[in-house]
Structure 1
Amino acid sequence: MSDTPTAAPVLYSGDRLTQARAFAGLTDEALRVRAIRAARDKDAEDLWALTLACLSSDTSAGVRVSPHTLRAYKTGVKVLLEHACTHAWNLTHPGRREPALYVASLSASGLKPATVQARVAAACALYRALRWAGATDADPFGDVKRPKDRTKGIVKNPPYRADFVQAMLAEADAQEAVLVLLLTHAGLRIAEALAVEWGNIDLRRRRLLVAHGKGDKARIVPLSAKLREALEALKAETVSTPTSRLFSFSAYSSAYERLQKLALKCGREHEFRGFHAGRKYAGTQLYAAVKDFTRVAGFLGHEQVDTTRRYVELPEDDLDEVMEGFV
């Protein structure tokens, strides 16, 4: 007699590991039936919970998948399910041409290639979870062609300009100043910046430990004089209320709102483009000083130097002096 599910797994009520255990702890048959039922009903809540459990327990990043990636995946799963409902998809046995039509519809709706790619990545994550649960063998997006963006990222979203960074720092409070400088001087990703604790900082040796970078890789980042000064000021402010974390906020949305309001305070809200332009600022400034992509890659925490090239804006006159000497 095959096992049958006796109770639905508890949806997310703690950390990601708790969520993963709620599903992984089921028998194979119970998990398979649960997943098939969710796919049949196109149950967005249950399918996302299943995807999250798979991402947390059966991928290399595991429970350290970044909150930003999870937000993008959750949105992508929701969009796919809306499309599947509208076009009467059978999720466990999708039509051979349906996935390509889905991608085409995303492009036709006016989404940028990068956004379409993110939606497809989310769809792949959902189907990986369904396969993990034994609900299907289908991998419908495995061979689907994805649109490519021919415009370089450094052109679409260039580094912040120095005068904008200085204007932000001039109006920033102690926490905002440290956050701006962790992005623009230390070159941290926003998730890395928000996770920094005082125990990661060695002001005497001018070093910052990024304990859990992308892919759970650690690295050491040097601290600029201006960043050390900002950290000292923040530390002095928090002496009466000691805490392990630098910031009183930890959510991506809270950090975004703080810097957006800061740009508005400067009268330059139209120049604020999120966090990544700050990281590109750091990469561009460092490359201008060392002229070595390999060293910049290590600083930014990139495995591939080709990735780093997308973070560095080269000046238009970069080759002028070299060309002048041609004979």
Structure 2
Amino acid sequence: MMTNDPTVGGEALDSASSSLTLVPYQGDALTRARLWLDPEVRRREAVRAARDLDLETLWALTEAHHTLQGSAQSSRHTLRTYRNGVRLWLLFAQRRAVGLLHPKADQGALFVRELEAGELRLTRQRKNKKDESAQPPPRPRPLTPSSVNAYLAGARALYRALRWAGASSADPFLDVKVGADKVARWDKRSPYPQAAIEALLQVGDARHRVMVLLGAHAGLRASEMVSLSRNDVDLSAGRLKVTGKGRKVRSVNLSASLRRELSALMAQSASDKLIGGTPEAARLRLRRECLKAGVPFLSLHALRHSAGTRLVKSGRTLQDVARHLGHASVATAEIYAKWADESLQNELDNW
């Protein structure tokens, strides 16, 4: 589908021999998916792309199948993770001489084991590269089970697309299992303490303060923050309209302080997007402000954890927390009860 010679893990995947009948189109996902509706073209391009390890065409096929056959629209973050999963599988296929359309037994399992061991990594090409030939290769860093599962989902999506195209009947990951996570969810991450939130509100401009409160009070995710527009804010009713995962829309109540900060920001700026930019840029901004405030940077998502934890500490039910944060299940909100329970620490302090 594309011919820009993609690089996977620092190793070029050759697509120069492409003889495409489909033209690249940069419209929305549904428009791109329509390019794959012809079964003959779909099968021919899938077979050629698998032979050439053509990342761009294989990803275009995967995205088209996901768009047409998926149960819900996926976020850009999910699609980016899926694409990286395809990239990693192609890197593995290149290194291990895997026939993409007819992989051998246990190659899917070996792929997962190498991911877990950190032997398969995505690397970025640097603009000003020094001579790296004399530098030792980076040491493998094992991936967490959640990361392995995320990349595996992308590789599985590729084979669903190949089967849809009639190019392969293979399912190399059918019986593959990812190792269990031995670290509890509440021990892998933590919320910002309330004192840290207060310190962050003393630095930065109005947009920064709104961003902090969108996370720490409204419980928004990074992608929800940056996509929030003026029309999504109803100051008189004290509510936000938030488009979350799977394009699900929810209504979020505003705290008094967030309402004041939003009112000030909207009076200062005529921009439609209140935060704008990308989730990555928002994380970098928060990291800089944490440095100014003398607050350890946890993550942008930790602001959302702070909102859930504070609600539980105030006596709200897990159903209230799940509704406020837009969780699909109450079980997801149970982690906040763990963080909010200080009884064990209080008891130990008296020993």
The TM-score, its normalising length taken from structure 2, stands at: 0.82
Stretches of 4+ aligned residues off by more than 3 angstroms: 318-321
Give me the whole-angstrom Cα distance separating, in 1, the residues matched to 2:317 and 2:299. Answer: 26
Work out whether 1:28 is the aligned partner of 2:60. Answer: no
Q: CA deviation at 1:311?
A: 4.2
Q: Is the partner of 2:66 in helix, strand or coil?
A: helix
State the partner residue of 2:96. Answer: 87
Give the one of 204, 227, 231 matched to 1:172. 204
Work out whether 1:274 is the aligned partner of 2:315. Answer: no
Give me the whole-angstrom Cα distance separating, in 2, the residues matched to 1:89 and 1:118. Answer: 21
Work out whether 1:121 is the aligned partner of 2:153. Answer: yes
State the partner residue of 2:228. Answer: 196
Q: Is the partner of 1:221 in helix, strand or coil?
A: strand
Work out whether 1:17 is the aligned partner of 2:48. Answer: no
Q: CA deviation at 1:126?
A: 1.3
Give the one of 138, 141, 147 matched to 2:173. 141
Work out whether 1:39 is the aligned partner of 2:71. Answer: no
Q: CA deviation at 1:144?
A: 0.7
Give me the whole-angstrom Cα distance separating, in 2, the residues matched to 1:253 and 1:320. Answer: 38
Give me the whole-angstrom Cα distance separating, in 2, the residues matched to 1:235 and 1:291. Answer: 31
The TM-score, its normalising length taken from structure 1, stands at: 0.87
Q: CA deviation at 1:87?
A: 0.5
State the partner residue of 2:129. Answer: none
Q: Is the partner of 1:220 in helix, strand or coil?
A: strand
Give me the whole-angstrom Cα distance separating, in 2, the residues matched to 1:8 and 1:316. Answer: 63
**CA deviation map 1:193-228 (0-9, x unaligned):** 222122121112211111x22122221111001111
- Sort the Cα spacing of 1:311 and 1:85 in 2 relative to 1 into closer, same or farther, 3 A: farther
State the partner residue of 1:78. Answer: 87
Q: Is the partner of 1:23 in helix, strand or coil?
A: coil
Q: Select the structure that is richer in helix.
A: 1
Give the one of 248, 251, 254 matched to 1:223. 254
Structure 1: 5+ residue stretches without partners? 322-327
Q: Percent identity?
A: 43
Give me the whole-angstrom Cα distance separating, in 2, the residues matched to 1:140 and 1:311. Answer: 38
Structure 2: 5+ residue stretches without partners? 1-17, 119-141
| Cα pair 2:287 2:297 within 8 Å, conserved | yes
State the partner residue of 2:343. Answer: 317
- Sort the Cα spacing of 1:69 and 1:12 in 2 relative to 1 into closer, same or farther, 3 A: farther
Amino acid at match of 1:207: R
**CA deviation map 1:123-144 (0-9, x unaligned):** 1111122122221122221321
Work out whether 1:308 is the aligned partner of 2:319. Answer: no
Give me the whole-angstrom Cα distance separating, in 2, the residues matched to 1:142 and 1:286. Answer: 41
Give me the whole-angstrom Cα distance separating, in 1, the residues matched to 2:197 and 2:187. Answer: 19
State the partner residue of 1:265. Answer: 292
